[in-house]
């Protein structure tokens, strides 16, 4: 099996990133579910870079001829989901901010 420089870089980077995830898990900065998520992501990166054929197999399984198309569809879905999460988070922050501003206002009524 011929391994190109790019493949080595990708694999090393993925392993490095994964090691960071392990460290964050150890000092409990991320939850176990998040760790599993990142493990899956980086494992997928390593597998597709070393064995591009698997990507083909996966995309054909989903009925999409080119792996890159599958990647784009998945990314769009993921981005939409993240946007939704951010929208909810943003709304929560707005409401918390309003609560804070309100609390200050109600505590300090001014009268002549």
Partner 1 sequence: MGKKVFIVIAAYNEEHSIPKVVSGLRRAGYKDIVVVDDGSKDKTFQAALNAGATVLQHIINRGQGAALKTGIDYAVQEGADIIVTFDADGQHRVEDLPAMIKPVESGKYDVTFGSRFLTKESQKNVPFLRKVYLKVGVLILLVFYGVKMTDAHNGFRALSQKAAKKIRITADRMAHASEIVEEVHRLKLKYKEVPVIIRYTELTLKKGHGSFMEGCRILYTMIMKKFLLR
Smallest distance, Å, CB 44 to partner 1? 30
Number of other CB atoms surrounding residue 67 within 10 Å: 19
Closer residue to partner 1 in complex, CB, 60/92:
92
DSSP, collapsed to helix, strand or coil, labels residue 24 as: helix
Closer residue to partner 1 in complex, CB, 69/103:
103
Closer residue to partner 1 in complex, CB, 16/84:
84
**For residues 37 and 21, what is the distance between their CA atoms, to the nearest angstrom?**
10
**Which letter does DSSP use for residue 65 in this model?**
S
Binding footprint of partner 1 on the chain (CB under 8 A): 84, 87-88, 91, 94-95, 97-98, 101-102, 104-106, 108-112
Smallest distance, Å, CB 85 to partner 1? 11
Q: Which helix (H) or strand (E) holds 107?
A: helix 67-107
């Amino acid at each position: 099996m011929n391994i190109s420089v790019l493949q080595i870089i990708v694999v090393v980077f993925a392993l490095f990133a994964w090691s960071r995830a392990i460290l964050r898990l150890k000092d409990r900065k991320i939850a176990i579910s998040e760790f599993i998520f990142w493990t899956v992501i980086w494992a997928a990166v390593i597998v597709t870079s070393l064995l591009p054929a698997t990507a083909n197999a996966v995309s054909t399984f989903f009925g999409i001829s080119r792996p890159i198309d599958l990647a784009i569809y998945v990314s769009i879905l993921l981005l939409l989901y993240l946007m939704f999460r951010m929208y909810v988070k943003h709304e929560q922050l707005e409401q918390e901010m309003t609560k804070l501003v309100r609390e200050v206002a109600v505590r300090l009524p001014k009268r002549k």
